[in-house]
């Protein structure tokens, strides 16, 4: 009788142990009928999620970069130096770096007028970002070499395209007149180069200088030419400026991106 009771108790105890074991897949049985809980490493699933998230971000970034254009020309984003330069200037023009919405406010105020004038000459609208890069749309900016006004004309070039520049008058500081002059200059550069990206580079360095580089290097792609640092970065700056104005949320300008389309007429310009 005693043996039957012991055997019965053993069977019941075994059944309890087995039911406990199978009800919790994260446990294992040890000696003396002890139950040891085994915790699955949670960092495995978290690591996989993080990896997938990073891959998605990389894919989105690649798609974004490959969609970029300048004057309707696509960029050779598959070239590592092109991508690295773009990312560098995106960072330089980002809100984290600049901490100000002044460029967006000036763009909102002046770019519609500039775009309209450029369009009347058949010039791609991306050239409206030239004065933002050149002067920050500040008519009072004068370079160390004497370039001045919104479009940073040298005095001789300004006069050549119809602007008055003397001791009494400086029409480089007049937005409408200087934009008409810039449009004429850009059109003349297009007649020389037949490519809008090269035109932008020539606006920065001068048509004669760019022609010399093309002739010496036997290369007519802006992205392959070896140019001085300023000109070699110029188109990248224009594209970066275009992107922070047109896609502010991608570059940290969230408050501006969430603004309503209706401008407050009482808002002060920075």
What does the block give as tokens for 172?
Answer: 């480089």
Q: Put residue 93 in one of left, alpha, beta given phi > 0 → left and psi -120 to 50 → alpha.
A: alpha
- The reply to whether 269 falls in a domain is no
Express each pLDDT in 82-126 by its tens digit.
999 999 999 998 988 888 888 999 999 999 999 999 999 999 999
Q: Is 148 in the same domain as 79?
A: yes
Give the pLDDT mean for 242-256.
Answer: 85
- The reply to whether 55 falls in a domain is no
Q: Is 32 in the same domain as 94?
A: no
Lowest mean pLDDT, pick from 50-54, 250-254, 264-268 = 264-268
- The reply to whether 209 falls in a domain is yes
- The reply to whether 194 falls in a domain is yes
Q: pLDDT value at position 171?
A: 98
- The reply to whether 192 falls in a domain is yes
Give the sign of the dihedral formed by CA 115, CA 223, CA 188, CA 67: negative
What is the DSSP secondary structure assignment for residue 90, as one 8-state letter? H
Q: Is 14 in the same domain as 68?
A: no
Express each pLDDT in 149-176 by its tens digit.
999 999 999 999 999 999 999 999 999 9
User: Cα(151)–Cα(131) distance, rounded to whole angstroms?
Assistant: 5
Q: Is 21 in the same domain as 71?
A: no
User: Cα(14)–Cα(24) distance, rounded to whole angstroms?
Assistant: 16
Q: Is 93 in the same domain as 207?
A: yes
Q: Is 90 in the same domain as 34?
A: no
Q: Is 10 in the same domain as 122?
A: no
Q: Range of 80's domain? A: 61-257
CATH number of the structural domain spanning residue 198: 1.10.530.10
Number of domains in the chain: 2
- The reply to whether 203 falls in a domain is yes
- The reply to whether 46 falls in a domain is no
Q: pLDDT value at position 268?
A: 38
Q: Is 87 in the same domain as 162?
A: yes
- The reply to whether 54 falls in a domain is no
pTM, to two decimals = 0.74
User: Cα(234)–Cα(225) distance, rounded to whole angstroms?
Assistant: 13
């Amino acid at each position: 009788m005693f043996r039957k009771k012991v055997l019965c108790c053993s069977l019941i105890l075994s059944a309890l142990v087995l039911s406990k074991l199978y009800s919790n897949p994260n446990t294992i049985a040890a000696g003396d009928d002890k139950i040891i809980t085994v915790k699955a490493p949670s960092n495995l699933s978290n690591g996989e999620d993080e990896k997938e998230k990073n891959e998605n971000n990389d894919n989105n970034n690649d798609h974004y970069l490959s969609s970029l254009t300048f004057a309707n020309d696509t960029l050779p984003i598959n070239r590592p130096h092109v991508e690295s330069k773009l990312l560098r200037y995106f960072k330089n023009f980002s809100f984290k770096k600049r901490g100000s919405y002044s460029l967006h406010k000036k763009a909102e105020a002046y770019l519609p007028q500039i775009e309209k004038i450029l369009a009347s000459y058949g010039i791609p609208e991306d050239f409206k970002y030239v004065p933002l890069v050149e002067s920050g749309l500040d008519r009072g900016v004068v370079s160390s070499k004497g370039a001045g006004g919104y479009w940073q004309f040298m005095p001789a070039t300004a006069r050549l395209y119809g602007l008055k520049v003397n001791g009494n008058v400086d029409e480089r500081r007049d937005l409408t007149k200087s934009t008409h002059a810039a449009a004429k200059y850009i059109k003349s550069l297009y007649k020389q180069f037949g490519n809008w990206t090269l035109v932008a580079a020539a606006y920065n360095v001068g048509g004669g200088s760019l022609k010399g580089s093309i002739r010496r290097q036997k290369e007519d792609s802006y992205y392959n030419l070896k140019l001085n640092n300023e000109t070699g970065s110029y188109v990248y700056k224009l594209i970066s400026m275009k992107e922070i104005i047109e896609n502010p949320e991608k570059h940290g300008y969230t408050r501006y991106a969430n603004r309503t389309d209706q401008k407050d007429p009482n808002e002060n310009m920075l």
